[in-house]
A and B are shown apart, each in its own frame.
Chain A
Amino acid sequence: MRLAEAWRVALDALRANRMRSGLTMLGMVIGVGAVVILVALGTGTKNEVQAQVEGLGSNLLLVVPGQVSLNAAPAVSRLDQSDLDAIIRIAGDRDRVAVSLTSGENVRAGNEQVFTSLLGVLETTPKVFLRDVRSGAYLTRTDVETGRRVAVLGSTVARTLFGERDPVGQQVTIAGVRFRVIGVFAPLGQSLGVDRDNEVHIPLSTAQRLLATKRVDAFAVKAPDAETIDRLGRDIVAELHRRHPDEEFSAVTQEQILGVLGDILGVLTAVLAAIAGISLLVGGVGVSNIMLVSVRERTREIGLRMALGARPRDIGLQFLLEAVLLTTVGGLLGIAFGVGASLATAALSPVPAALTWWSIALAFGVSCAVGIVFGVVPAQRAGRLDPVVALRSE
C-alpha cells in the first residue's frame, strides 16, 4: 500500500511539473539514446568488418611489408618477382598464392571515365579469395606470363563505363593504354562506405610494365588447413627476412586482422561510450538537482506526511521513485530514440548499425541505476527532515 502510494505521488509530482520533468528527462533521453546508437554503430561496423574479412576466403595468410599493428605506418614495398617465386616455393603450389600491385588509375571507355583501384594480379586470385566472375572469364596463366593487355572489371566499373551493355570483348583505356575486357566480377557491395566493386584486375606483369615498376605490394597465401597456417606464416616471414635482412615483414591471418580491427573498433567504441557516459552523468546530475529542488518545494508536504505517520523510509522511497521514474521514462524515450535513429542510419546511409537486445537492456538498466544513484541523496535528505521544521517551512 505504501509503495503504491509512493508510486502515485511520484507520478503525480511529475505530472504537476510537466515542463520541468520533460527537460530533466531530455538529459536522459540524449544520454541513453547516444549509448544505444553508438553501441549499434559499433556492433554493426564490427559485424560488417568480420563478415568482410571472413568473406575473403578461409585459412588465408596476408603477407605485407612492415608491421601490422595499431601504431605502425604502412610501409613501402620492396618485394618483387623473385620474392613471389620464393613464396610459391614455400607454399608448394602456385595456386595457393595471390599477389597484388595496387595503383589508383583512370579507366576510360568511349566518353565515360572512372577512377578506380587498378590491381596487378596473378591468375590464381579466384583460387585464393572468394571472388566470382559474373560474365566472361578471369585472367589465365598465359595472360600473366605473356603480359597481355586484358582486364577484369569490378561491377561498378562495368556499369559506369558500359551501362547495361556487356563489357566483355570491349576496349577500355587504362592510364592511356588500351585493354580488352575479358570478364566482369559479380558485385560484392559496399562496406563501411567503400565501394568494393570499384576495381580492375590486370595481369601482374602488365601492371608492372604499365606502372614502370618491379615491385609487388602484398601476397596472400592460402594454407591447406588451419593447423599449418601459423607455421607457413613463420616460414614465409623467415624467408623474406633472409632475402631482405634490413626489413620487416608480417604474415597475418584473418583472425589477427580481425583482432587488430577489433582493437581499433574497441578503442573507438570505448571513447564514444565514454562521451555517451558523460552525457548520462550530466543527465543524472540534472535529475539530482531537480530532486533537491522538489524536496525543498515540498518540505511542508513532507512535514505533513511525517506528522500523519510517514516514516523516513516512506518519504525517501517517494522521492527515490520520483527520480527513478524520471530516469526510466527518460531512458525508455532514449531507447526509442536510439533504436529509431539506428534503424534510420542503417536504412538511409552506408554506415552499418546493428541493434542488440543486450545494449537495450543495458541502457534500461543504466537508466534505473542513474535514478537510484542520483536520487538517493535528495531522497535521504527528504527522509531526514525534522517534521517540526518541515511543517513550519514556507
Chain B
Amino acid sequence: MTADAAIEAIDVARTYALDGVSVPALRGVSLTIAHGEHVALVGPSGSGKSTLMHLLGGLDQPTSGRLRIGGRDVAGRTPAEMAHLRNATIGFVFQSFHLLSRTSALDNVALPLVYRGMGARERRERAAVMLERVGLGHRVGHRPNQLSGGEQQRVAIARALVTEPAVLLADEPTGNLDQTTGAAVLELLEQLNTAEGVAVVLVTHDREVAARARRQITMRDGRIVSDTAVDEAGEAAG
C-alpha cells in the first residue's frame, strides 16, 4: 500500500441483493487515488462507476476486498464512523447540486462543519473564505433559487472543500449545466486541484470532460478496462 494514497482499493467487489438474487455491480477493482491527482472515471451507465464512486466516497462498503480511505480501512466500521471518515476526508459534488433550498449560500457551505462540531462563528468565517475562493464572495446571503446553475454548483464546490478534504468526488458535475458554465466549473475544479492540492475524481460519461483530466479510468461491466495517464495536450498516452 502506498503511504501517500488518498484512497486505495484492492480487489474490491460490491454485490447487491435484489429480491434474493445477488447482482454484482463491481467485480474486483483495484485502484489507488494519490494525493493531488486529477482523475476522470468514465464508462457507460451500468458499468459500475457510480457504485465505485459511492465506495470511494465512503457512502457504501465493499462486499469483499480491501478499501482504505484517508489511510483508514473501512472494514467493520459503523455508520457513525463512516460519517466521520467522510466528513474528514471526502468532499462531494453532485450533478443536481444538492443544496438546501431554504438556506443561504453561506450556511450551505458551512453545513459539513456543523457535523464536525465547529462553532457557528468559525463555520461562517471559513465558509465565507471558501465562497470568496470560488468567486461568490458577493453572493453569501443568497438562497439557491436566487443563484444561477453555475453559481449553485460553485456553492456546492465550496461546500465540498470547506472541510479541506483529501479527495473531491464529483459525480457528473456539469451534467445539469450548459457548455460554457460547465467549462467554467471544470476550470474551477482544475484550478483548485492545482492550487489546493486536493485530489479530484470526476465521474462522467462526457468524453470531453474526461479528456481534461490527467488520468482516465474506464469501466465496463463492473471492471476497470483501462487506466491511462493523459498528456498535457489531452490525448490518451496509452
Measuring CB to CB, which residues of chain A are less than 8 angstroms from any residue of chain B?
1-2, 4-5, 12, 16, 300-301, 304-314, 386-388, 391
Contact = CB atoms under 8 A, between A and B. Distances in A.
Contact of A387 (B59, B80, B111): B59
A338 B190 CA distance: 63
A380 to B, nearest CB: 12
A200 to B, nearest CB: 74
Interface stretch (B27-35, B94-102, B137-145, B198-206): B94-102
A306 B98 contact: no
Interface size class of B (residues with CB under 8 A): 20 to 34
A388 B120 CA distance: 28
Interface of B: 54, 57, 59-60, 79-80, 83-84, 86-88, 92, 94, 98, 100, 102, 111-112, 114-120, 159, 163
Contacts of A307: 57, 59, 86, 92
Given A310-B83, A387-B59, 6 more contacts: A1-B118, A308-B86, A309-B84, A312-B83, A388-B54, A388-B59
Instruction: Provide the main secondary structure of the chain A interface.
Output: helix
Contacts of A16: 102
Interface centre among B59, B94, B120 (most CB of A within 10 A): B59
A305 B54 contact: no
A5 B83 CA distance: 17
Given A4-B120, A309-B112, A391 B98 contact: yes
Given A12-B102, A304-B98, A311 B84 contact: yes
B115 A310 contact: yes
B116 to A, nearest CB: 7
A314 B119 CA distance: 16
A304 B60 CA distance: 14
B111 A305 contact: yes
**Those 10 A-B pairs whose CB atoms lie nearest each other, nearest first:** A309-B87, A309-B115, A311-B80, A308-B112, A311-B83, A5-B114, A387-B59, A304-B98, A1-B117, A388-B54
Nearest to B81: A311
A313 B59 CA distance: 16
B83 A300 contact: no
A391 B96 CA distance: 10
A306 B60 contact: no
Contacts of A12: 102
A386 B79 CA distance: 9
Contacts of B79: 311-312
Given A301-B100, A308-B87, A309-B83, A314 B120 contact: no
A8 to B, nearest CB: 9
